[in-house]
A and B are shown apart, each in its own frame.
Chain A
């Protein structure tokens, strides 16, 4: 984070000490005036709910016996609760598989689109981006139908090759089914970001590399990818944040595959179940808060280890 907001020097030099004080005060005021409205929303809708969640999570409500202060018991319970742990483990595994997959696909597409420009690739770019315009919920509904043995196309497609269609809604394949939905939904969006970054590279660099005898692949690997690394990191961070709080897609598919997707399938679903189905807002808040903490630490650790914080922030 480089902070270059020095005011241009001449004005400051000319002002007297007293005037400078006034200018400074004015700058404080104007700054807060501009930031203030967002600040209010920030306090009211982010800080306050977080504080409230923290407060709620320190209590316990029972069907018999009512509400009592339990301090950190809910957190102790969460981190020993098999539902929360297996849900967390699931989203971690899911991140490890789906994020690299999405980014590799997005990167491959972006590199192709950057290298080949004609009517077909321009059309492709738009079509590949299209799923981003679909609400995740609707996307999940659509894929739920596509996975159906009876009226999805999979049966027909696999029959062409003489095979039986896999059931992506069964317990053993639901993981792949979800990876597919998420990839379909987001790869195009990531592709556009990477593509935009690639287009921003100065073509003179390619010329220079070619002079040095680098082939197309080498240009891609040695010049293009390193130069768009900040965009890659940004995508990684956002997909990580998004995946750790996975909710919409499994929640929708649950009505089609209740056996394969339990109400505690992801930590967020578990928090929802606790709060809204079982009326346990206290424990639900504790799970939300624990999840928020895990995400925060996870992302921060990621940024720290990639040591690219400067370019991101």
Chain B
């Protein structure tokens, strides 16, 4: 009996001390719940007497970027947390918006999500807080992607000009040159297949943003949307261009020329490493993505090269974008002005930018980096010394015109995944899938109170 009591007491004591330990680490922040609680930072704040702004972000070098900011700034300090990548973070933010508490002051979001959060009044227009001072640092197109109407809802950081990464060894083995058009892409794929080679590319259900970009390349304009008239939206997901692109890839997949493996999975990465795919249709961040997973090291060194994205009409090339992020100020920020200083200042110093592009973590939109000869002329290790920026990515970025994104990005992408998945598994045509997607998204928009044009 006594023994048992002792054990129980010990258990309780452990619990109590663990609780005390945990709540102690919270810095007694009982009132602040969530991201507003400034004492739960991944980084250490060097200047403790300054006001603190909380920030969510997921770049791999965020630690360095935040440290640089905190070191250089004498006015405000950043407290950073990584709550997950992409939709993991958006789910958290979305929840905090609904709850009215728990959001950080500054948040990293992909540009295609800005209208989604803006329409819920979750973001702050930062134009009054120092836009003029940094206006010249970014191209007009970059500003357009983070603006809704005349208001600015984010500071651009990186973009995703698209290109085609390919395996030099496979191309040499089957005697093919980088295809310039999608028709050539298909011919090359057929040639490799006939010779018993690997898959030529991949048509995945879970990369809706990629599919959308490829549709835009063929002339699709999925959403038309005037922020002054937020209740009215134009949705066109089943135009000829969108249908053609779906049909094109479905056709390649059904002929067995490309795979249908979900991307951003270990399966896909190891496939790319093992040479199961001859090309990887991707954006400027892809080399960093692959390097992080261990591709291009050891035996693979120097096996990859990059060429411009194939075109539908080689005479009139269209460049598109996949991904790219910005720092936005949330409407839960206690001091939007200070928060805006952070949004403008993060990833804007030379050291951070240089680290970002040398490690291929970001394709910078900041003109100080984008026009830096060191960046443009960089001989990229991953591509065996190829001057990838100069030859491919920078021209693609310069020719990119910008896109109107939807105010319900998550739903649209989920719906697209569903249709593409059905397309891959089933026997429908791309045109039918596009029609169903159109119907689905229009219904959702109407249900959400929009007037659909």
Residues of A within 8 A of B (CB): 62-65, 145, 148-151, 169-172, 255-260, 262-263, 273, 275-279, 281
Contacts and interface: CB of A to CB of B under 8 A. Distances in A.
Contact of B267 (A149, A260, A263): A149
B379 to A, nearest CB: 31
B266 interface: yes
Nearest to B447: A62
Contact of B449 (A63, A170, A257, A277): A63
B262 A256 contact: yes
Given A63-B119, A172-B425, A259-B205, 20 more contacts: A63-B407, A63-B408, A63-B450, A64-B450, A149-B267, A150-B266, A151-B266, A170-B425, A255-B265, A256-B262, A258-B262, A259-B425, A260-B421, A273-B414, A276-B91, A277-B91, A277-B410, A278-B94, A278-B411, A281-B98
A169 B87 CA distance: 21
A169 B262 CA distance: 10
Q: Is the interface of B mostly helix, strand, loop or mixed?
A: helix
B341 to A, nearest CB: 29
A259 B267 contact: no
Interface residues of B, number: 38
Shortest Cβ-Cβ A-B pairs, 6 listed: A259-B205, A258-B206, A64-B449, A62-B449, A259-B421, A65-B449
Interface of B: 87, 90-91, 94-95, 97-98, 119-120, 204-206, 230-231, 260, 262, 264-267, 270-271, 274, 407-408, 410-411, 414, 417-418, 420-421, 424-425, 447-450
Contact of B120 (A170, A260, A275, A279): A279
Nearest to A77: B447
B270 A151 contact: yes
Contacts of A281: 98
A276 B95 contact: yes
* Interface of A, helix, strand, loop or mixed by DSSP: loop
A172 B270 CA distance: 23
9 contacts: A64-B448, A149-B267, A151-B266, A256-B262, A259-B205, A260-B421, A262-B421, A277-B90, A279-B98
Contacts of B94: 276-279
Nearest to B231: A64
Contact of B266 (A64, A148, A276): A148
B447 to A, nearest CB: 7
A263 B91 CA distance: 13
Given A259-B260, A277-B90, A150 B265 contact: no
B35 to A, nearest CB: 16
Nearest to A257: B262
Nearest to B270: A150
Identify the interface centre among A148, A255, A281: most chain B CB within 10 Å of its CB.
A255
Nearest to B444: A278
Contacts of B205: 258-259
Contacts of A145: 266
Contacts of A255: 264-265
Contacts of B265: 255-257
Contacts of A256: 262, 265-267
A258 B265 CA distance: 10
